[in-house]
């Protein structure tokens, strides 16, 4: 006579192994998603900081008279002004547009992310007497 517990003993081991396999595959998938979301959030954070630096630089220039900006060499038409803030390097380019009273100003912010150079640009036209 065969004992009913011993006849199904092998199935329990297979069931446990299958459950462990499914659990481990799910765990690795979730780990991969978590790691990818971490890198994406880091990219978003860097872009947000770059946008903030560009806006802050443009607002600083727009908040003063252009005569003062040109005197302090914060903005040099036909040339560039370079600075840095933490891991970010910013450059202000300025040049006269088609009309002599319009000054085109652009701020470019660059940073290194995963061995690749990323950048953000913000530009505007300003009327200068």
Picking from 22, 29, 106, the residue whose alpha carbon sits closest to that of residue 61 is: 106
Percent of the chain scoring above 70 in pLDDT: 92
Looking at the DSSP assignment, which residues form a beta bridge with residue 6? Answer: none
d(CA 107, CA 43): 20
SS3 57: helix
How is domain 4-127 classified at the CATH fold level? N-terminal domain of TfIIb (2.20.25)
For the segment 16-63, what is each residue's pLDDT rounded down to a tens digit?
Answer: 888 888 888 888 888 877 888 888 899 999 999 999 999 999 999 988
pTM of the complete model: 0.71
Q: Report, as an integer, the average pLDDT of 101-121.
A: 93
Cα dist from 38 to 44, 110, 112, whole Å = 10, 21, 17
Average pLDDT in the chain: 86
What pLDDT does residue 96 have? 85
| Structure tokens belonging to residue 29 | 């998938």
């Amino acid at each position: 006579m065969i004992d009913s517990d011993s006849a199904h003993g092998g199935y329990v081991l297979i069931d446990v192994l299958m459950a462990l396999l499914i659990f481990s595959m799910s765990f690795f998938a979730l780990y991969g998603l978590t790691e990818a979301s971490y890198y994406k959030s880091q990219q978003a954070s860097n872009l947000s900081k770059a946008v903030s630096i560009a806006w802050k630089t443009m607002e600083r220039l727009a908040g003063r008279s252009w005569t003062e900006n040109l005197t302090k060499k914060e903005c040099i038409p036909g040339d560039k002004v370079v600075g840095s803030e933490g891991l970010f390097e910013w450059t202000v380019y300025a040049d006269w547009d088609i009309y002599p009273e319009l000054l085109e100003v652009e701020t470019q912010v660059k940073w290194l992310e995963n061995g690749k150079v990323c950048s953000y640009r913000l530009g505007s036209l300003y009327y200068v007497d």
